[in-house]
A = this chain, B = another copy of it.
Amino acid sequence: MEDRVNQIKQQLSAHNYKLTPQREATVRVLLENEEKHLSAEDVYLLVKGKSPEIGLATVYRTLELLSDLQIIHKLNFGDGVTRYEFRAEGAEHHHHHLYCLNCGAVDEIMEDLLGPIEEKVEKEFDFQIIDHRLTFHGICHRCKGQVKDPKKLVGSKVT
């Protein structure tokens, strides 16, 4: 954990940015909730719990900065909020998401399933891949058999 904070500190200074207390608090919240895909608001509330003087704008600015430096990723699951997560450790892009249409949970697949596919795409479309996003939308194991809101899944008018 301290290692990772230090690593980020170095990544920032390599680009002439400082790891201010606010930025550090934000980074720590992200690290402590790594698997949770927090929104900016989530991060703000968590940081505010520890350091009440921080402003929402600072959180946004910090997330934008970390995102520009590719330390974290922006994610969109179509619910109108941008979520953030750390990039996969090994510098390479590596993992994918399972988004449950019933309960909204986001689980992770930690394997990279796309290696061979990327090679094919790069060649076939003359496209230099920098990153990818792969999300499966469906019903998670927890919701199986107890879908609460079918309307969300297949629209229909309740008459």
Stretch at the interface among A28-36, A44-52, A55-63, A122-130: A122-130
Q: How many copies does the complex hold?
A: 2
Q: Is the interface of A mostly helix, strand, loop or mixed?
A: mixed
Say whether A155 faces chain B, with CB atoms less than 8 Å apart.
yes
Say whether A159 faces chain B, with CB atoms less than 8 Å apart.
yes
As a 0/1 sequence over residues 71 to 102 of chain A, the CB contacts with chain B under 8 angstroms (1 = contact) are: 00010111000100000000000000010010
Q: Which residues in chain A, 86-142, are within 8 Å of chain B measured between CB atoms?
A: 98, 101, 107, 109, 113, 117-118, 120-121, 125-141
Seen from chain A, the residues whose Cβ lies within 8 Å of a Cβ on chain B are 15-17, 65, 67-70, 74, 76-78, 82, 98, 101, 107, 109, 113, 117-118, 120-121, 125-141, 144, 151-157, 159
